[in-house]
Amino acid sequence: MAMAEQKKYAKILTEPPGPNAKKIEASTNELLVRISRFYPLVVEQASGSLVRDVDGNQYIDFASGLAVLNIGSCHPRVVEAAKKQIEKLIHYSYTDWYYPQLVELAGRLAALTPGKFEKQVFFGNSGAEAVENAMKIAMNHTRRVKMLAHYGAFHGRTLGALSLTASKAVHRKRFTMAVDTFHIPFPHCYRCPWNLTYPECGYACVDFIKESIIQHLVPYDDIAAYFFEPCLGEGGYVIPPPDFFRRMEFLRDYGVLFVADEVQTGMGRTGRWFAVEHFGVDPDLLCVAKALANGFPISAVIANRRVTEGLEAGQLGSTFGGNPVSAEAALATISVIEEERLVQRADRMGKRVLKRLKTLESTTAIVGEVRGLGFFIGIDVVADKKTKERAPRLAQHIITECFKRGLIVVTAGTNVIRVIPPMNIQEDILDEGLQILEQAIHDTDKIYRAGEIKAR
């Protein structure tokens, strides 16, 4: 196995998937509804930035439980907070009664999120639930029911959120959409639909929205809200040009609400508490979930109070939303991020990682672009740098090779490898993981050049 002698943290004792993993994989495929997975990793335990499978193999974590474990697995502060709360109260439905943790957590979130206005918070269980309730709040406030979202966006799989999602066709296959949504291009400068170059393009994508979508498909005063991921997640880890969202504020002149979906980018991941802070726009509503409680299920919609005041009691609710155990875990997570200055660390370390990985653009034939903010980094794998043809088979080969060598890394969209380690990952663990990733990319590049593997 490549570089085995250099590995300190990644320890492959049995070629994965091992015998125990194969048994669980087979049982899972028989008993659970079919879903997509990257490769047969069967996790038994994890600590910090290291994960162990059921066959004793140890992996470096560059996936963070899919951008959930921003402060690593089983952080002692989060574990202790959850244990203490479990001994006192596990559940009592905040929809119908009260508990103090949510007041404190709502206050912390209101202070952390952008916007110098009064805010109110709604708690749910998942990112999709946050998005669904943000839609309801927007509809109630504007008395409109149509939405604007981006191609490539992923906002969830429940029918309301799915109406906004336009990442992969399979997500929508055989399902009807619940909400009338109009999709617009996301500013993907590496793959500009007009083959223009930023900044000479003059934000032609915004002009297209004004001149084509609004004039021909949906009038301004029919749109309740504009939903956007500040940085495209599942759609390929795309970072927009700096003024894009400010230029989109023309929508606000017509009463359209701005809703930032920070489910994947929130809680420090991009080197700011929330990615929208990079772009100088204060959203009317902001959705957060995934990393909010570092593995415990909870989500929140943080809204400008002016858009929530018209809600009537009973319009929103969630039996398990804002669960007290998850709330305590979230409070502990926020405290750890603040005290260990992990937002600043993600910014600083992310820049170092980005600079290192960008060398792959010039040293391989298959890396078209490396892009990112903080520890939110995407490696765009291509079949040809001139045509920028996506190479999903090569991307899958790379992440599978990483898995075999002791690194957990996953794709976004079809061909982009996402690098999203815990924000507190030790530097020597980070460097070993990067070495495994780089070697897997170079090895794949070599066999692709030799014609031993196809791009698609």
Residues 26 and 169 in one domain: no
What's residue 451's pLDDT?
Answer: 95
Indicate the residue among 308, 339, 370 that finishes a domain. 339
Residues 300 and 388 in one domain: no
Pairwise CA distance, residues 191 & 419, whole Å: 20
Task: Give residue-wise pLDDT tens across range 395-418.
Answer: 999 999 999 999 999 999 999 999
- Tokens linked to 291: 């990393």
pTM over the 0.85 mark: yes
> Residue 115 pLDDT > 90, yes or no?
yes
Give the DSSP H or E segment for 258: strand 257-261
Residues 166 and 261 in one domain: yes
Nearest to 377 by CA among 228, 230, 274, 270: 270
Residues 129 and 228 in one domain: yes
332 in any annotated domain? yes
Residues 93 and 136 in one domain: yes
Given a contact cutoff of 8 angstroms between Cβ atoms, the answer to whether 453 and 447 are in contact is: yes
Given a contact cutoff of 8 angstroms between Cβ atoms, the answer to whether 203 and 247 are in contact is: yes
Task: Give residue-wise pLDDT tens across range 188-203.
Answer: 999 999 999 999 999 9
Residues 165 and 219 in one domain: yes
- In CATH, what number is assigned to the domain containing residue 137? 3.40.640.10
179 in any annotated domain? yes
Task: Give residue-wise pLDDT tens across range 284-339.
Answer: 999 999 999 999 999 999 999 999 999 999 999 999 999 999 999 999 999 999 99
What's residue 213's pLDDT?
Answer: 79
Describe the crossing of helices 342-357 and 324-339 by its angle, rounded to 10 degrees. 70
1 vs 107, residue with greater confidence:
107
Nearest to 303 by CA among 288, 280, 286: 286
Indicate the residue among 339, 358, 380 that finishes a domain. 339
What's residue 6's pLDDT?
Answer: 67
DSSP string, 196-256: --TTTT-SHHHHHIIIIIIHHT--GGGEEEEEE-SSBSTTT-BPPPTTHHHHGGGGGGGTP
Peptide bond into 76 cis (omega under 30): no
- In CATH, what number is assigned to the domain containing residue 366? 3.90.1150.10
Instruction: Work out the average pLDDT over 353-381.
Output: 98
pLDDT-derived band at 175 (thresholds 50, 70, 90) equals confident
The share of the chain scoring above pLDDT 90, in percent, equals: 92
Indicate the residue among 323, 339, 355 that finishes a domain. 339
> Residue 131 pLDDT > 70, yes or no?
yes
What's residue 4's pLDDT?
Answer: 44
Pairwise CA distance, residues 410 & 440, whole Å: 13
- Tokens linked to 423: 């924000």
Pairwise CA distance, residues 216 & 334, whole Å: 45
Residues 136 and 272 in one domain: yes
Residues 443 and 394 in one domain: yes
Residues 287 and 392 in one domain: no
Out of 215-224, 241-250, 261-270, 359-368, which region has the weakest mean confidence (pLDDT)?
Answer: 215-224
Backbone angles phi, psi at 408, to 5 degrees: -95, 115
Label the pairing between strands 407-408 and 58-61: parallel
Peptide bond into 199 cis (omega under 30): yes
Nearest to 383 by CA among 369, 374, 394: 394
Task: Give residue-wise pLDDT tens across range 67-103.
Answer: 999 999 999 999 999 999 999 999 999 999 999 999 9
Residues 437 and 359 in one domain: yes
454 in any annotated domain? no
240 in any annotated domain? yes
pLDDT-derived band at 2 (thresholds 50, 70, 90) equals very low
Contacts of 366 (CB under 8 A, 6+ apart): 381, 382, 383, 391, 394, 441, 444, 445, 448, 455
Pairwise CA distance, residues 291 & 268, whole Å: 9
Instruction: Work out the average pLDDT over 10-24.
Output: 96
Domain with 59 in it? 4-71+342-449
Quote the distance between the C-alpha of residue 221 and its chain's center. 31
> Into how many domains does the chain fold?
2
> Residue 155 pLDDT > 60, yes or no?
yes
Residues 290 and 382 in one domain: no
Residues 201 and 300 in one domain: yes
**Averaged confidence pLDDT in the chain:** 95
Pairwise CA distance, residues 276 & 264, whole Å: 12
pLDDT-derived band at 1 (thresholds 50, 70, 90) equals very low
88 C-beta neighbours (distance < 10 Å), count: 9
Contacts of 92 (CB under 8 A, 6+ apart): 99, 324
